[in-house]
Homo-oligomer: A and B are copies of this chain.
Amino acid sequence: MSDTSNDTDIPELCRSCEARHNGICGALSGKELKYLSQHTTKKTVPAGTELVGETEAAESFANIMGGVVKLSKMMPDGRQQIVGLQFAPDFLGRPFQETSSITAEAATAVKLCAFPRSKLDAMMKETPGVEQRLLRQTLKELDEARQWMLTLGRKTASEKVASFLYMIAAQIDPERDLEDNLPITFDLPLTRADIADFLGMTIETVSRQFTKLRKEGIIELEQSRHVTVPDIQRLRDETGEF
């Protein structure tokens, strides 16, 4: 931890921000935070907002303070694949240059703390820890992407849906010990169409697998978005892993 400075130096908004604890900003001192925060724009965007491409984040970067962002790729004929989900306190945007065509879109309402490219460059130059944090997050994303390649390439439809639900459940509260077997409840951040695009299948098949898991008592469903998992171990068993 390098936030050894006096806590009163830390800007109000940064104090409760997860990015300061586990994100990029964790590498910054109170003074640096103060400076950076003068150049950040906090904003909340509604679900569906495009956050990248020729529009927003080409010249700007952001920490996600809340909500879920989906990263996706599209083929000329419209087939689409979601290639990543990002949650707070992930960093959004690409150091160096973006060449690969990838789209970022708010899957839910998203709270952002944005700042210009020049500030990131400066931070990377002046504070060595920033680059390391970026490297760590990138390695984490790489692990997740590879994990998902296994899911996409080798799992059955029901294993895919179980894996997705397990991933979301695990992500809801990272602190939580998943061995404890207490019920977990959460709202899905994605529509069925998004889930289908994430899992490489059709809406209909996703829906059928939800129904199947519900009938087997592995999940409970309310209004199609609100999920309760009474026994996370049983869900885990359905993923095909472990």
Q: Which residues of A contact B (CB under 8 A)?
A: 71, 73, 75-77, 79-81, 83-84, 94-96, 99-100, 102, 128, 131-132, 134-136, 138-139, 141-143, 145-150, 152-155, 199-200, 240-242
A102 to B145, CA, bound (A): 13
| Cβ A83 vs Cβ B150 within 8 A | yes
| Cβ A150 vs Cβ B81 within 8 A | yes
Quick one: given A80-B154, A131-B132, are A149 and B145 in contact (CB under 8 Å)?
yes
**Can you identify 28 A-B contacts, CB atoms within 8 angstroms?**
A71-B146, A75-B240, A75-B241, A76-B241, A76-B242, A79-B154, A79-B240, A80-B154, A81-B149, A83-B146, A83-B149, A83-B150, A84-B146, A96-B136, A96-B139, A100-B143, A128-B131, A131-B135, A134-B135, A135-B135, A138-B138, A138-B142, A141-B142, A145-B145, A148-B149, A153-B199, A153-B200, A154-B200
A122 to chain B, nearest CB (A): 15
| Cβ B240 vs Cβ A95 within 8 A | no
A92 to chain B, nearest CB (A): 14
A124 to B100, CA, bound (A): 27
A59 to chain B, nearest CB (A): 18
A99 to B140, CA, bound (A): 10
Residues from chain B with a CB closer than 8 A to the CB of A81 are: 149-150, 153-154
| Cβ B149 vs Cβ A149 within 8 A | yes
Nearest neighbor of A145 in chain B, beta-carbon distance: B145
A143 to B128, CA, bound (A): 24
Residues from chain B with a CB closer than 8 A to the CB of A241 are: 75-76
Residues from chain B with a CB closer than 8 A to the CB of A95 are: 135, 139
Nearest neighbor of A242 in chain B, beta-carbon distance: B76
Residues from chain B with a CB closer than 8 A to the CB of A146 are: 71, 73, 83-84, 100, 102, 145
Residues from chain B with a CB closer than 8 A to the CB of A199 are: 153
A237 to chain B, nearest CB (A): 11
A242 to B79, CA, bound (A): 12
A132 to B95, CA, bound (A): 10
A94 to chain B, nearest CB (A): 7
Quick one: given A131-B131, A131-B132, A145-B145, are A73 and B150 in contact (CB under 8 Å)?
yes
